[in-house]
Amino acid sequence: MNGHSGTSSGKDGRLGRRAAESLDARREDAFDDVVARKDPEGLRKGLTTRHIQMIAFGGAIGTGLFYGSAAGIKLAGPSLLLAYALGGIVIFFVVRAMGEMSVHRPSSGSFSRYANDYWSPRAGFVAGWNYWFNYIAVAMAELTVVGQYVQYWFPSVPAWASAAAVLLVITAVNLVGVKAFGEFEFWFSAIKVAAVVGMIVLGLYVIAAGVNSNPHLPNPSFGHLFGDGFLAKGVTGLLASLVFVMFSFGGIELIGITAGEAENPQRSIPKAVNQVVYRILIFYIGALTIVMAVVPWRQINGKLSPFVQIFDSVGISVAAHVLNFVVLTAALSVYNSGLYSNGRVLYSLARQGNAPKAFMRLSRRGIPYAGVLFSSMVTAVAVAVIYFLPETAFSILMAMALGSSIISWVMILLTHRAFRKRIGSGVADLAFKLPGGLASNGVALACLIGVFILMAFNPDYRTSVAVMPIWLFILFAAYEGKKRSSRPGMPADRVQESRS
């Protein structure tokens, strides 16, 4: 009798939880519908599958591939290819987890909105402001070096003038409309993709034809990958390169930010997310395989970009000019994406009640102009101030940016776990699931924790490890301060709805 009673109460409990989950889901859907009706000037769905596909391509290719890859090769030798394969699997799990949530409920606030709704307002605050700061720091760094790229051609142009011009142009693009952003990012990404594809094609030609214009180097051959052993720097070198590899994927989570403004997120987001693996194989593993086949990896000293060495080997004397154009484009792409992302993140934070209501303001074209302008102004001030700060201050800011990338990925995975728990039995009905579910989520989390531990053993990343707890403490303290200064109750968007 007692056993039957326990079973019955257990069933009742499960049914009660499912009913509550279903009711919560209906309330969320109803709320979104009401906001859409009350706010006809909302974010516009102007990003096509073509835009999102190329934005995803561009998110996987940064200046690190063109310049920073030499540092990775020095760390690990040919085993860097294995590090990219392993890191690619982890990143695939991260973006696939975010894709699962984005397809289920598209939102331009992406994982910040999901963290707020499925985990807690505190998590939404931390996720959103951490991600906003990450792109501010990255944008600051990119604008700082834009001047160097321009001075390569025009030495008399002040670096600040180039940075100011780029800031004004990209800000204007982001204020015009989401389609303008999408078109600019499409062509920025297309240039980067074309550069990598061109290098791979030229490299294959060099290898097949045995072209060698440098008498001090052996003829190109895939044998260079195994001449000193694939694990030439040992397991230690492989592990050391994993940290470098993971940070080269920074920005790929931008796919999720685009979901709220995608014309057909149920089609475009899964397609873009699933191609992450192919992009990594082609644009990182493929390109670096060609690089180390044309130029023996021990001959890559970092003084020249490996890509310049590829072009030089076939007698293309303008190789350095080509690369300078590509990395300038890559820097513009990063700032364009960062400003787009930050405007939407601030808009989402304001709707959650985790940022000033002013950031909820939209233009007639559905652009969160307040967030875009504020982010642009903060970046401008940061770039101006950085000229007067000592090098150590800049290093600390960049260390915080590196740490915030890891925090963002961890927050995505933890939010995904909360999302799965929240929807309960609704997992079976998800249209786009993370393969392996929570097991894959756990593997990715463990790997990211492992990367954090590896950072502590690398002198180049110890500052990041030191500032991450401090940065998290600042975010938590800011949330507690915000909570005490505002009246308890509904988030800003729901407060507005209750008043209308």
pLDDT at 295: 82
Average pLDDT over residues 486-492: 52
pLDDT at 496: 39
pLDDT at 1: 41
Please choose, from the candidates 257, 282, 287, the residue with its C-alpha nearest in 3D space to the C-alpha of residue 269: 257
Extract the tokens encoding 315: 């007698």
d(CA 195, CA 210): 22
d(CA 230, CA 201): 24
N- to C-terminal Cα separation, the chain: 54
Extract the tokens encoding 381: 């001030």
Local confidence band at 32 (pLDDT 50, 70, 90 cut-offs): very low
d(CA 100, CA 440): 13
d(CA 180, CA 118): 32
Extract the tokens encoding 319: 């190789």
What does the mean pLDDT of the chain come to? 80
386 pLDDT more than 50: yes
In the three-class reduction of DSSP (H, G, I as helix; E, B as strand; rest coil), residue 99 is classed as: helix
| Spatial CB neighbours of 329, under 8 Å, sequence gap ≥ 6 | 188, 191, 192
| Spatial CB neighbours of 436, under 8 Å, sequence gap ≥ 6 | 93, 443
- H or E element, residue 191: helix 178-209
d(CA 345, CA 347): 5
Secondary structure of the chain: what % helix, strand, coil (to 5)?
80, 0, 20
pLDDT at 121: 92
d(CA 245, CA 240): 9
Q: Range with the lowest mean pLDDT among 8-17, 31-40, 313-322? A: 31-40
CB 258 within 8 A of CB 47: yes
Query: Of how many residues is the chain composed?
Result: 500
In the three-class reduction of DSSP (H, G, I as helix; E, B as strand; rest coil), residue 332 is classed as: helix
pLDDT at 33: 40
Domains of the chain: 43-492 (1.20.1740.10)
pLDDT at 299: 81
Strand partners, 47: 262
pLDDT at 497: 35
Angle (nearest 5°) at CA 168 between 471 and 177:
90
Local confidence band at 107 (pLDDT 50, 70, 90 cut-offs): confident
10 pLDDT more than 70: no
Local confidence band at 60 (pLDDT 50, 70, 90 cut-offs): low
CB 395 within 8 A of CB 144: no
Please choose, from the candidates 177, 131, 169, 135, the residue with its C-alpha nearest in 3D space to the C-alpha of residue 379: 135
pLDDT, greater one: 488 or 379: 379
Please choose, from the candidates 121, 127, 122, the residue with its C-alpha nearest in 3D space to the C-alpha of residue 412: 127
Kindly report each contact of residues 475-483 with a partner whose C-beta sits within 8 Å and lies 24 or more positions away, as own/partner. Answer: 475/125, 475/126, 475/129, 475/130, 476/122, 476/126, 478/125, 478/129, 479/121, 479/122, 479/125, 479/126, 479/354, 482/125, 482/354
d(CA 356, CA 467): 26
pLDDT at 38: 35
Residue range 224-262, pLDDT digits in tens = 888 878 888 889 889 988 888 888 887 778 777 777 777
pLDDT at 407: 92
pLDDT, greater one: 15 or 477: 477
pLDDT at 11: 47
369 pLDDT more than 60: yes
Average pLDDT over residues 290-319: 76
Extract the tokens encoding 232: 């030439």
Extract the tokens encoding 169: 């142009």
Local confidence band at 303 (pLDDT 50, 70, 90 cut-offs): low
- Pick left, alpha or beta for residue 173 (phi over 0 → left; psi -120 to 50 → alpha; otherwise beta): alpha
pLDDT at 499: 34
Place of tokens 């086949």: 293
